[in-house]
Amino acid sequence: MKDLKDLVRPNIWEMQPYSSARDEFHGSASVFLDANENPYNTPYNRYPDPMQLLLKDRISELKGVGVDSIFLGNGSDEPIDLIIRAFCEPAIDSIVSIAPSYGMYEVAANINNVEFRKVELTKSFELDAERVLEAANAWVKVIYLCSPNNPTGNSLEREKLYKILNTFSGIVVIDEAYIDFSSEPSFLSELERFPNLIVLQTLSKAWGAAGIRLGMAFASPKIIAILNKIKYPYNVNMLTQEQALEILNNEERMKEQLRSILSERIRLQAALPLLNCVNKIYPTDANFILADVENANATYKALVKKGVIVRNRNNVTLCRGCLRITVGTPKENDALLAVLKKL
């Protein structure tokens, strides 16, 4: 990996971050007249902990990663954007990602006026590591990879991810939003081996908390310090911090839901290919199944008409004819199958 100083944008490296009242005072006190808050309406009158330390303690315990290797954001969409803003000079630098994949990498690049270079997966949705590395020229600061990948569902081949981590001298982001549904191990255990690695995870999927918006980025303390420097001071609100802690303290509830989702995934994997309108389904390591169906647009519309909404991926690279179906409750999956059976 290049020196971090040579990867980070010079203005970001040099700047002083905003210092909030709650950054400056630590300890206990009974009279808070430091942050221009309203003294009434407790507890919502107070600004939340800007560094979310209670929550990070719990995440550190759950994930086996030090507190200073954890960044928390408003969904993982926040670190996806912040990483580009930290490392890529607008109109000069670029990022590389794969196609098809999660759409926000490209949107975040476009918002920041950073070139988005995409490398198609193979027909079986495998990563072509050589082509990713060829695309990663001197102006490419970050490579975004998603594993298990959205919308294809498969985990990218581990050896190819190692090849990219070992060869590329910039930052490699592995987005593990769907890792809890996968039998593959997380790359969190590789953080110490690869100083250029950032792993993204979220409470939006297996933890069942998309509504509270909490995303996690894990990386070396030096990279995390850069993200902390440029985030909004109070980027994770008090309600989210409290609710996230509650959710993370109930790991058993998450595991029970996970078991149900995984067993329903097996049921759908058996049932879908037997239907006339389904040509094939792709292997999945996530909480959704990519299905190649007869006339995707018409099938999508027929489902909508019956109040069943899936994601139409017919116009996405390599996904012509495909619908992406999230695994729901047994009842929801029955409703899906009942409509498809009649087509």
Part of the chain binding ligand PMP (CB under 6 A), chosen from 47-55, 69-77, 106-114, 299-307? 69-77
For the chain, strand residue ranges (E) read: 70-73, 94-99, 115-120, 140-146, 171-175, 197-202, 215-218, 278-281, 288-293, 311-312, 322-326
Report the distance separating Cα 287 and Cα 247, nearest Å: 19
Tell me if residue 108 falls in helix, strand or coil.
helix
* Choices 38-46, 72-80, 114-122, 133-141 (CB under 6 A): range interacting with ligand PMP: 72-80
Cα(48)–Cα(51) distance, integer angstroms: 9
Between 22 and 78, whose beta carbon lies closer to ligand PMP?
78
Measured from the CB atom, the residue of 114 and 286 that comes closer to ligand PMP is 286
Residue 259 Cα to chain centre, angstroms: 21
Q: Contact with ligand PMP (CB under 6 A): which of 81, 93, 175, 264?
A: 175
Smallest separation, CB 102 to ligand PMP (Å): 4
**Any idea of the CA torsion for 9, 77, 103, 205, to the nearest 10 degrees?**
150
| Helices 296-305 + 330-341 axis angle, to 10 | 120
One of 92, 111, 210, 309 touching ligand PMP (CB under 6 A)? 210
List the interface residues with ligand PMP, window 91-150 (CB under 6 A): 102, 146, 150
148: cis peptide before it, omega within 30°?
yes
For ligand PMP, which is the closer residue by CB, 76 or 94? Answer: 76
Q: How many helices and strands (H and E) does the chain possess?
A: 13, 11
Distance CA 132, CA 219 (A): 22
| Cβ 75 to ligand PMP shortest distance, Å | 3
Question: Residue 205 CB, nearest distance to ligand PMP (Å)?
Answer: 7
**Residue number with CB closer to ligand PMP (177 or 289):** 177
Closest CB to ligand PMP among residues 145, 278: 145
Q: Hey, which residues does 173 pair with through a beta bridge? A: 144, 198
215 near ligand PMP, rule: CB under 6 A: yes
By beta-carbon proximity to ligand PMP, the closer residue of 143 and 340 is 143
Pick between residue 72 and residue 140 the one whose CB is nearest to ligand PMP: 72
**CB closest to ligand PMP, residue no:** 75
Piece of the chain touching ligand PMP by CB under 6 A; list 21-29, 51-59, 202-210, 323-331: 202-210
The stretch among 32-40, 75-83, 122-130, 235-243 that binds ligand PMP (CB under 6 A) is 75-83
CB 116 within 8 A of CB 97: yes
SS3 sequence, 153-196?
CCCCCHHHHHHHHHHCCCEEEEECCCHHHCCCCCHHHHCCCCCC
- What is the smallest separation between the CB atom of 78 and ligand PMP, expressed in angstroms? 7
Out of 204, 241, 299, 333, which residue is the one contacting ligand PMP (CB under 6 A)?
Answer: 204
Q: Mask: binding to ligand PMP, 270-299, rule CB under 6 A, as x and -?
A: ------------------------------
152/126 Cα distance (integer angstroms): 10
Binding-site ranges for ligand PMP (CB under 6 A): 75-77, 102, 146, 150, 175, 177, 202, 204, 210, 215
